Amino acid sequence: MGLRLGDIAPNFSAKTTKGEIVFHDWKKDSWAILFSHPEDFTPVCTTELGAVARLQEEWDKRGIKTIGLSCNTVESHQSWIADINETQNTNVQFPIIEDFDRKIATLYDMLDYQDATNVDKKGLPLTVRSVFILDPKNVIRLTFTYPASCGRNFDEVLRVIDALQLSEKKKVVTPVNWKGTQDEVIIHTAVSNDEAEKLFPGYRTVKPYLRFTKV
């Protein structure tokens, strides 16, 4: 059975571009994003990792640690980082995991089983574009899986982290196309009207189950 929302993210030891880590010890009590890319020195992956690197200040503001993974060696990652920095006008600071034996990719069900072209020179499957968002207790809170042919939108990853963290702090949930705290949110249905008036004075009721407020 694959990993589900609410599961504890499996722990592992790995070599990375920042040295050897034990995953849970590395992330400690932080939120974290574990994401895979198919292969080093490939065009879509280069743009993706550049985007993650350029968002470093935004991750830091939210207490997020980011870590990448592919089926390449640390030496390959290190060489490729120079290309990423050059072509994407950035400075990659986050670690990238070496997983050429595919143990972690298998543990997290990241390997590609549908794209016959997403394989290495030996014909072994490479990883898809997986994203796991983990909370400080190592609980899997959100996952994405994109095919190798489709680059991810890391602005969307940032948006959903904002939504998750907001729901942790306030008794609210986020509506469709919510873009940030400038937009209204929905008061959680477990909150009574009396409590809602104390927490969110002047909230707006559309239906008894649909109450909007700003936070």
pLDDT in tens, 56-113: 999 999 999 999 999 999 999 999 999 999 999 999 999 999 999 999 999 999 998 8
Does residue 121 have a pLDDT over 90? no
The string of pLDDT tens digits covering residues 136-153 is: 999 999 999 999 999 999
Residue 187, pLDDT score: 98
Does residue 31 have a pLDDT over 70? yes
Active site residues: 45
The average pLDDT across 16-27 equals 98
Does residue 1 have a pLDDT over 70? no
Q: What are the tokens at 93?
A: 């600071």
Q: What is the mean pLDDT of the chain?
A: 95
Half-sphere exposure of 97 (CA within 13 A, CB side): 26
Residue 126 binned pLDDT confidence (cut-offs 50, 70, 90): confident
Tell me what percent of the chain is helix, strand and coil, each rounded to the nearest 5: 30, 25, 45
Per-residue burial over 127-160, b = 16 or more CB atoms within 10 Å of its CB, e = otherwise: bbbbbbbbbeebebbbbeebebeebbebeebbbb
Residue 186 binned pLDDT confidence (cut-offs 50, 70, 90): very high
- Spatial distance between the Cα atoms of 200 and 61, rounded to a whole number of angstroms: 25
For 114-203, strand residue ranges (E) read 129-134, 140-146, 172-173, 185-187
